[in-house]
């Protein structure tokens, strides 16, 4: 008989009651065993019941409950699918109702107590979220966090606009900038709070151990001017270039901290630059001996002039620039290009290539090849954290640059580890300096707090509302941070544990108990590094499990990494990104990265989260009236 059409007999109902009662006893025993270990670690008494519920949830999830859930659902009862926040109370409610169905008499007060316990447990998460992030915004539950670019230290109006648009928490990454910049960012946030009347907390993220590639040997000091053309070769946009007489070296076009593209700069003689006027033509022979010209568009400052070039050109130091038709005499007619900052030359890697990962901090270089292009010496690049080599073994996987490049350890040698590239596009992948390294098969036992972190912690303890703990992997790591905060008199600062490794994921319950047992506490799902560590195929499953575990502990979750990334960076979100942002509403905070369109992204996220919370609370669908 089909299960959904099967009506439970009285005997089956009694049997179901016994099974649920037995399950409750097992869960209660597991809860007690956990709490005997955890109770000494919980100093905050208001977290004690939350820790107890987490212990019960772990006991519950040790069992495969799917068959039991189906039978409960067929009776119209709770299937335990929403029991995270109140495990024992949910079991008690089911037991009481099964007793009534079985014809047993129970006191109505028992059902009332179970219902009250469930409702009370729901308030714990809200309380702990408010303790960490401050008061709830008026129109939505989930908070919005924004990562500050370095430019935020010099642009108060930008920070104020972020707060006005709906930023509830500003994230300052201690891996970038310095204490002076951080100080200005903090002051801007506090000023914006006063002027707008909106609360905005500050999270300062410790850098943690830098598992990154080292420097790469600089290439030739050349600037490539690249105008945009259509498919037919017609000019769409001329290349812009700034003629700079300040004495600073020239540099290619690049993106700033907001993700906006800046113009290339050429170092020129200051006196020559002063005589330039709008409309002047500047002729030159580029590095390939092609005749080119630039046109002066307008003056930016006393030292800077904006010019444009309709044709592609390669410029290097020493190239002569000549005014085409000087009308102001012969003085200043000609100048020579000054120094150019040499950019790191990327290392091109293809499937099957060898790559030497070195202990020594020597600049990386492409492979050495013979006249026929055969590789004589493999490419090499260093690992900034050389301690990792003691944990590597042949066959271990290595992911580079957020998983763009995959490799495997072929052998360990005196220089470090010889890798073989196992994942790369057909045309090859460019390996740049300062790119992330992940070792998912290696049990890295690195200190979560580096010497730099300890120095930065002095500033964080004095100015931030929360500290982000990068690469925390164990309860012992959490104890170390708590001890360091106590030394600095920051015993009430919030802690956000960033879960980004397999080991941190495995130890998450103990990390939560140690952290939340002493401080206001939250968990960040650092989906970038974590996805590389566990594999992208498992990321959807794992982020759900983290959400459930944190709900059981009544601690808030930050949904991070590439939320609305297309909108933030290019002003055009994908459909998948919009769906991801909608699902992020189940977390207590959603983080946006820095980018030129982050202000627009805040408005979109604010709207999406507000609408979604009318339809869903955690895993429960809210049956709002449909307007069909």
- Structural domains present in the chain: 3-124 (no CATH), 133-210+445-618 (3.20.20.60), 223-336 (2.40.33), 347-438 (2.40.33.10)
Band (325; pLDDT cuts 50, 70, 90): low
pLDDT the model gives residue 232: 86
Say how far apart CA 521 and CA 509 lie, in whole Å: 13
- 315 has a pLDDT exceeding 80: yes
Say how far apart CA 569 and CA 186 lie, in whole Å: 24
Residues 6+ apart with CB under 8 A from 517: 38, 41, 42, 43, 44, 47, 51
pLDDT the model gives residue 438: 93
Say how far apart CA 520 and CA 133 lie, in whole Å: 9
**Stretch 356-365: mean pLDDT:** 94
- 330 has a pLDDT exceeding 50: no
pLDDT the model gives residue 329: 46
- 341 has a pLDDT exceeding 60: yes
pLDDT the model gives residue 258: 59
Band (194; pLDDT cuts 50, 70, 90): very high
pLDDT the model gives residue 336: 93
Say how far apart CA 377 and CA 369 lie, in whole Å: 7
Q: What does the pLDDT look like over 544-577, one tens digit per residue?
A: 999 999 999 999 999 998 899 998 988 888 899 8
pLDDT the model gives residue 2: 46
Higher pLDDT, 254 or 598: 598
Say how far apart CA 625 and CA 465 lie, in whole Å: 40
pLDDT the model gives residue 623: 43
pLDDT the model gives residue 340: 92
Residues 6+ apart with CB under 8 A from 217: 344, 345, 363, 364, 365
Task: Using CB atoms within 10 Å of the CB of residue 428, give its burial: 0 to 12 exposed, 13 to 18 middle, 19+ buried.
Answer: middle
Phi, psi of 382 (to 5 degrees): -95, 165
- 50 has a pLDDT exceeding 60: yes
Strand partners, 496: 468, 522
**Stretch 378-398: mean pLDDT:** 95
- Total-model pTM: 0.85
What is the overall mean pLDDT for the chain?
90
Of 105-109, 320-324, 437-441, 494-498, which gets the smallest average pLDDT? 105-109
Residues 6+ apart with CB under 8 A from 467: 203, 204, 205, 206, 457, 460, 461, 481, 485, 493, 494, 495, 496
pLDDT the model gives residue 260: 66
Residue 332 — left, alpha, or beta (φ > 0 → left; ψ -120 to 50 → alpha)?
Answer: left
**Stretch 321-333: mean pLDDT:** 63
Q: What percent of the chain has pLDDT over 90?
A: 68
Q: Which H helix or E strand runs over 116?
A: helix 108-133
Residues 6+ apart with CB under 8 A from 291: 283, 284, 285
Q: What does the pLDDT look like over 214-240, one tens digit per residue?
A: 999 988 899 999 999 988 889 999 999
pLDDT the model gives residue 7: 54
pLDDT the model gives residue 1: 38
Residues 6+ apart with CB under 8 A from 9: none
pLDDT the model gives residue 113: 84
Q: What percent of the chain has pLDDT over 70?
A: 94
In contact, 568 and 165? CB cutoff 8 Å: no
Say how far apart CA 187 and CA 171 lie, in whole Å: 14
Band (304; pLDDT cuts 50, 70, 90): very high
Higher pLDDT, 106 or 519: 519
- 170 has a pLDDT exceeding 50: yes
Q: What stretches of 170-310 show up as alpha helix (H) in DSSP?
A: 179-196, 270-274
Say how far apart CA 247 and CA 573 lie, in whole Å: 41
Say how far apart CA 318 and CA 316 lie, in whole Å: 6
Residues 6+ apart with CB under 8 A from 252: 223, 224, 264, 341, 343
Task: Give the tokens for residue 186.
Answer: 């903090």
Cβ neighbours around 278 below 10 Å, total = 12
Say how far apart CA 626 and CA 227 lie, in whole Å: 51
Of 369-383, 421-435, 474-488, which gets the smallest average pLDDT? 369-383
pLDDT the model gives residue 109: 82
Q: What does the pLDDT look like over 568-627, one tens digit per residue?
A: 988 888 899 898 888 888 899 999 999 888 999 999 998 888 888 877 666 654 445 544
The 10 Å CB-count burial string (b at 16+, else e) for 514-543 is bbbbbbbbbbbbbbbbbbbbbeeeebeebb
């Amino acid at each position: 008989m089909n299960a959904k059409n099967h009506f439970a007999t009285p005997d089956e109902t009694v049997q179901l009651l016994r099974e649920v009662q037995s399950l409750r006893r097992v869960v209660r025993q597991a809860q007690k065993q956990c709490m005997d270990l955890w109770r000494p670690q919980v100093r905050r008494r208001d977290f004690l019941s939350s820790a107890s519920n987490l212990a019960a949830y772990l006991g519950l999830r040790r069992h495969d409950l799917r068959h039991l859930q189906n039978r409960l659902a067929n009776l119209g009862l709770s299937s335990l699918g929403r029991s995270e926040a109140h495990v024992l109370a949910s079991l008690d409610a089911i037991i009481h109702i099964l007793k009534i169905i079985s014809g047993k008499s129970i006191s109505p007060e028992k059902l009332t107590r179970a219902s009250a316990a469930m409702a009370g447990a729901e308030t714990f998460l809200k309380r702990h979220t408010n303790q960490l992030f401050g008061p709830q915004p008026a129109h939505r539950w989930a908070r919005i966090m924004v990562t500050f670019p370095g430019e935020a230290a010099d642009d108060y109006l930008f920070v104020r606009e972020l707060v006005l648009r709906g930023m509830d928490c500003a994230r300052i990454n201690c891996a970038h900038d310095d204490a002076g910049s951080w100080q200005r960012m903090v002051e801007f946030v506090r000023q914006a709070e006063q002027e707008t009347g909106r609360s905005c907390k500050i999270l300062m993220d410790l850098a943690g151990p830098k598992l990154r590639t080292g420097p790469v040997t600089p290439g030739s000091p050349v600037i490539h001017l690249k105008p945009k053309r259509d498919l037919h070769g017609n000019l769409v946009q001329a290349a812009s270039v700034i003629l700079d007489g300040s004495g600073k070296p020239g540099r290619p076009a690049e993106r700033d901290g907001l993700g906006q593209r800046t113009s290339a700069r050429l170092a020129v003689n200051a006196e020559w630059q002063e005589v330039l006027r709008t409309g002047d033509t500047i002729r030159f022979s580029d590095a390939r001996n092609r005749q080119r010209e630039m046109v002066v568009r307008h003056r930016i400052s006393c030292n800077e002039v904006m010019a444009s070039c309709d044709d592609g050109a390669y410029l290097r130091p020493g190239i002569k620039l000549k005014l085409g038709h000087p009308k102001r005499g012969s003085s200043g007619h000609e100048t020579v290009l000054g120094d150019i900052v040499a950019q790191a030359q990327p290392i091109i890697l293809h499937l099957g290539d060898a790559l030497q990962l070195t202990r020594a901090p020597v600049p990386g270089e492409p492979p050495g090849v013979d006249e026929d292009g055969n590789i004589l010496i493999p490419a090499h690049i260093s690992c900034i954290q050389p301690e990792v080599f003691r944990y590597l073994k042949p066959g271990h996987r290595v992911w580079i640059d957020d998983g763009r490049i995959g490799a495997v350890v072929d052998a360990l040698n005196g220089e470090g580890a010889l890798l073989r590239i196992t994942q790369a596009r057909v045309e090859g992948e460019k390996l740049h300096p300062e790119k992330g390294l992940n070792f998912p098969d290696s049990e890295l036992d690195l200190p979560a707090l580096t010497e730099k972190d300890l120095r930065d912690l002095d500033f964080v303890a004095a100015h931030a509302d929360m500290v982000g703990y990068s690469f925390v992997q164990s309860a012992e790591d959490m104890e170390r941070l708590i001890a360091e905060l106590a030394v600095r008199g920051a015993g009430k600062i919030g802690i956000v544990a960033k879960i980004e490794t397999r080991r941190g994921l495995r130890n998450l319950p103990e990390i939560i108990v140690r952290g939340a047992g002493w401080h206001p506490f939250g968990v960040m799902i650092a989906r970038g590094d974590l996805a590389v560590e566990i594999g992208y195929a498992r990321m959807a499953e794992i982020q759900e499990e983290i959400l459930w575990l944190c709900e059981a502990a009544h601690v808030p979750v930050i949904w991070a990494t590439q939320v609305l990334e297309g909108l933030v960076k290019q002003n055009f979100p994908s459909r998948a990104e919009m769906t991801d942002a909608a699902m992020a509403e189940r977390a207590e905070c959603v983080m946006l990265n820095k980018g030129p369109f982050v202000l627009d992204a805040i408005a979109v996220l604010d709207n999406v989260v507000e609408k979604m919370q009318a339809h869903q609370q955690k895993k429960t669908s809210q049956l709002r009236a449909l307007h069909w």
